[in-house]
Every structure is written in C-alpha cells, then in structure tokens.
Amino acid sequence: MKVKQLYIGHIFTLCSGSLIYILFRTPSLRMFFWFEKLHFLDFIKSLRSFTITNVNNFPDFVLYSLPDGLWVFSYVSFILYQWENKIKSENLVWIFIIPIISITSELGQIIKIVPGTFDITDLLMYSLGTLLPFLIYHKSITINLKHV
C-alpha cells in the first residue's frame, strides 16, 4: 500500500492536476511566465498544440475545480505517507493545514475577505481531496490522539 500511496496517491494526482493546468488552462496564468523564464515555454506550447483544441470537450469542473481537489488529495496522501499513516495529535496540523487553508479561502470568497469568486464545486473538490485519502487508506491508518 505504501508504494501505491506514494506513486498513485501523491505523484500521480499531483501530476494530473498540474497537467490539466498546463495543457488546458489559459496561457495568461503566471506559471506560463515561469515556463518562459525557465525556457520551457516552447516545449509547453508544442504539447498544448495537441490538446488545446479539445478544451471544450471537458466539463468546467474538470478544468477549473478538479486540479485543486487533486492537489489537496496529493498533499494529504503525501503527509500521511510521511507520517507512516499514523495520525497523532502532533501531526494533525501538518495533515490538515493545506485543506483548512483551501476550504477557508474558498469560504472567505463568500464574504469578500478573500479575492475571487466562491464556487461550490471548488469547495466540494477541496473537501473530497481531504476526505478521500482517509477513506482509501483507512485500513493502514492508525489514530492515536492521546497526549503523552
């Protein structure tokens, strides 16, 4: 399970979310500026020439919300992996910091304290990205929240 958790749960979901951005999102995103500075932009443009024509074949949630959920899933899977799937009071902050920031920032958009437009689908993807690793790896997770 540990190898699958690292490669599928972390690396595959991280790369999948990233590829959706690279292959289908608008080139005005900041990351394309970074690609240009790193001299990767020509390579990225050549990849996009094969994929960008298919952008309309995907539902909006795949292009705009799924990557965020995949990244949260990747983070939670990796942190659980790093802590050997042992949930203790001292690692709760590390496990949940990114999900809390993600969900809180999305909720902050409702009351206009965070820039952006609230999207219930983003909130759902963040929530699923947080919960699914626990459901998938539940057999290998141990919980010990007792203070020593």
Taking only the tens place, the pLDDT of each residue in 101-138 is 999 999 999 999 999 999 999 999 999 999 999 999 99
| Residue-level pLDDT at 75 | 98
The structure's pTM equals 0.90
What lies within 8 Å, CB to CB, of 24 at 6+ separation is: 51, 52, 54, 55, 58, 63
Contact 133, 9 (CB under 8 A): yes
- Where helices occur in 7-91 by DSSP H, the ranges are 13-24, 30-37, 41-51, 60-64, 66-82
- Per the prediction, the chain carries an average pLDDT of 94
Separation of alpha carbons 43 and 114, rounded Å: 34
Span 33-43, average pLDDT: 93
Helix (H) or strand (E) holding 103: helix 92-110
